[in-house]
Amino acid sequence: MPDEPRQRVERVAGARRARLTRVEGTLADADAEATLRDADAGARPAAGEKGPNDERLRRDRPPHW
């Protein structure tokens, strides 16, 4: 177990949160976000396809707004 790479906490001057170092074999933040964006793109219907409730769902606001 001691041979496994570990993340280290880095303090960032002027920031409220610390940052973790990257570990080999993991994605960088930008790569992970790009992967998530690609997955979301497949879930959306085509521009011409609309369901009966789409407009209402887009106008509705949650009660805490």
Tokens encoding 12: 């960032």
- Phi, psi of 9, rounded to the nearest 5 degrees: -90, 125
More confident residue, 8 or 30: 8
Nearest to residue 24, comparing CAs of 2, 5, 3, 1? 5
What is the reported pLDDT for 38? Answer: 67
What is the reported pLDDT for 43? Answer: 56
What is the reported pLDDT for 40? Answer: 54
Helix (H, G, I), strand (E, B) or coil at 37: helix
What is the reported pLDDT for 14? Answer: 92
Contact status, residue 7 vs residue 21, Cβ threshold 8 Å: yes
pTM above 0.75, yes or no: no
Show the beta-strand stretches assigned E in the chain: 9-10, 19-20
Query: How does pLDDT run across 9-56, given as a tens digit for each residue?
Result: 999 999 899 988 888 877 777 777 777 776 555 555 566 777 888 888
